[in-house]
Amino acid sequence: MANKYSSHLFELIKSLTKAEKRYFKLFVARHTSSGPNNAQILFEHMESMDDYDEEALLEKLKSHAFTNKFSITKARLYDTILKSLDAFYAEKSKEQLIRNEIHYVEILFNKSLYKQCQKRILSAKKQAIKYNKNHLFAELLLWEKKLIEKDNYQKVTSKQIEVLTFTEQDVLNNVSLNSKLWEFKAILFRHLNKIGRARTTEQVESLKADIENKLHTLIIPEGKIRMKYLFNHILSAYCFAIYDDKESLKSVIKNVTLIEENPNEFGEEPNILISTLTNGVYLAMKNKEVENAQALYNKLKILYSKAEEEGSQDVVLKVKSSLISLELLLIKLTCDFNKFEKISPTIYEFISENKKNLNESRLAFLYYNIAHILFIQDKFSKALKWINSLLNDIYIDQSQEVYSSAEILNLFIHFELDNKDLVRYTLKSTKRFLKTRNKLFEYETLVLNFMQKTTSYNFDNYELDEVLSQFISDLKKVTSDTFENIPFEYFNCILWAESKVKKQKLSLLTREKNEEFMSFNI
């Protein structure tokens, strides 16, 4: 019964592009007799569904005998779709092409066609080197050894043994070095996702011990493009984690150049270029390098146009979500609300249609920035809707920066809505939340103390300007600590408090602070 209601097949069908669906139907037609078969019938019915409802599906298909063994029918269709995808991408995936060659090597070897076997090995080795497939290169070396062994080592020279041994050791060294880089990457990104960027000197020292000191002991061999990319990627993320945004951007720029100059290395993985360009735009904006940010953003838009032309659904989705995320960030900085009104319907539609396919962290950032823009516009009820969705409907690790920032913004929204009872109630849970996740630093403490004081039952509103002025003064002292500036990237409390004291729109002060971004073209 557990398998009967599995939605895996439905999810697989819904993930197919138009080209993949078309190929599947041709694939099934080639491998079956005339007329629609069970696979085609089930596929077409599931393809037409918006949401998976197995009981409704079985009701529609009750006249077909295969519903008596529905789990088996679904499993066969699932396997058939995977086989069609394997055939569809057989000529497109360099890895698969080399794997096919290895399989041909095995067939020829088993038929004792050793010269043909050797020829295939040499051809496949060239492809493995060209596309940096070390793991496949190692497999081919094993077949070379088998060719030597079948003659009881009589036809091999000492020089050939030496070259083969040296080559294999070089491959193993590369695999070992790549493994170390992956380990550092895993440690660092686990830290970033579980803890966030460093907020104390102790956290910086811990990262240095885990990453920096070890990373700089590694020597990347000349010509190892993928390893160089991975090294730069880790270094960029490390610098970002310790709030060294300038060095982080330098490493990202190096990787953009590396990817563009070596299309053979990265051609099959467009997501690498997408994420690198997205990170580059974000870091360039943080460093207020507007021309650099614009250039990288333009490259991302070109990538989007190219993906649309080629019909790559996955790439289109990822580039589009990156572009929207960056556009929202820019609107938040420049307060270009006319632009927001123009593009927001498209953004809302995009989120609605792709919610299930978007990364949860990306979705959280989209929700947060939409809420923040609406907050700056004084549309507090609408902002609350998006923050509530972020806090209640998106399943991300609650230790992530965006989640704790949403908790803070939630307090300010209720403050603006004059929901003092709700603020008082939420304060306790917010403080407990931040404390248990080691997120209660000076900035957060000042915000919570301000909220507690100004929403207390005996607070006199005539004192608000004085309390706000003190709040501003305390926050400015806090910003002298580099690590305490991180929360200001999400919500600038100083600007908000100043807008109250000066009786000016928050949007006006925000726009003045980010004047350099007014020339940015989205």
Provide the pLDDT for residue 302.
Answer: 93
pLDDT in tens, 449-478: 999 999 999 999 999 999 999 999 999 999
How far apart CA 272 and CA 228 sit, in angstroms, is 14
Taking 3-state DSSP, the helix, strand and coil percentages for the chain, each rounded to the nearest 5, stand at 80, 0, 20
Return the number of other C-beta atoms located less than 10 Å from residue 43's C-beta. 22
pLDDT band, residue 480 (cuts 50/70/90):
confident
pLDDT band, residue 483 (cuts 50/70/90):
confident
Provide the pLDDT for residue 398.
Answer: 63
What does the pLDDT average to over 74-80? Answer: 91
Sign of CA dihedral 319, 320, 322, 323: positive
- 348 burial (CB, 10 Å; 0-12 / 13-18 / 19+) is exposed
Residues in the chain, total: 522
How far apart CA 427 and CA 448 sit, in angstroms, is 7
What does the pLDDT average to over 262-289? Answer: 91
| Better-scored residue on pLDDT, 481 or 104 | 104
How far apart CA 25 and CA 17 sit, in angstroms, is 13
Residue 311 has pLDDT above 80, yes or no: no
Task: Transcribe 403-441 into DSSP letters.
Answer: HHHHHHHHHHHHHHTT-HHHHHHHHHHHHHHHHHTT---
* Contacting residues for 313 by C-beta, under 8 A, at least 6 apart: 17
- What does each C-alpha distance from 217 to 5, 205, 214, 347 come to in angstroms? 52, 17, 5, 45
Provide the pLDDT for residue 352.
Answer: 93
How far apart CA 22 and CA 313 sit, in angstroms, is 14
Percent of the chain with pLDDT over 90: 61
Residue 387 has pLDDT above 90, yes or no: yes
What does the pLDDT average to over 316-329? Answer: 94
Residue 1 has pLDDT above 50, yes or no: no
How far apart CA 431 and CA 429 sit, in angstroms, is 5
Domain boundaries, the chain: 8-89, 373-491
Choose among 77, 54, 64, 67: nearest CA to 7: 54
What does the pLDDT average to over 93-112? Answer: 92
pLDDT band, residue 193 (cuts 50/70/90):
confident
Highest mean pLDDT among 148-152, 185-189, 380-384: 380-384
* Contacting residues for 292 by C-beta, under 8 A, at least 6 apart: 249, 253, 280, 284
pLDDT in tens, 21-76: 888 988 888 876 655 688 888 999 999 988 888 888 988 888 888 888 888 989 99
Q: Please, are residues 138 and 171 in contact by the beta-carbon 8 Å criterion? A: yes
Whether the predicted model's global pTM rises above the 0.75 cut: yes
Provide the pLDDT for residue 33.
Answer: 61
- 466 burial (CB, 10 Å; 0-12 / 13-18 / 19+) is exposed
Provide the pLDDT for residue 213.
Answer: 83
pLDDT in tens, 413-455: 999 999 999 999 999 999 999 998 888 999 999 999 999 999 9
Provide the pLDDT for residue 4.
Answer: 46
Provide the pLDDT for residue 16.
Answer: 87
Structure tokens at 19: 């080209």
How far apart CA 133 and CA 98 sit, in angstroms, is 9
Residue 110 has pLDDT above 60, yes or no: yes
Provide the pLDDT for residue 405.
Answer: 94
Q: How many CA atoms lie within 13 A of 193 on its CB side?
A: 11
SS in 3 state form for 335-353? CCHHHHHHHHHHHHHHHHH
SS in 3 state form for 202-213? HHHHHHHHHHHH
Percent of the chain with pLDDT over 70: 97
How far apart CA 240 and CA 236 sit, in angstroms, is 6
Range of weakest confidence among 147-161, 237-251, 353-367, 392-406: 392-406
**Mean pLDDT over all residues of the chain?**
90
pLDDT in tens, 112-159: 999 999 999 999 999 998 888 888 999 999 999 999 999 888 888 999
How far apart CA 407 and CA 386 sit, in angstroms, is 12
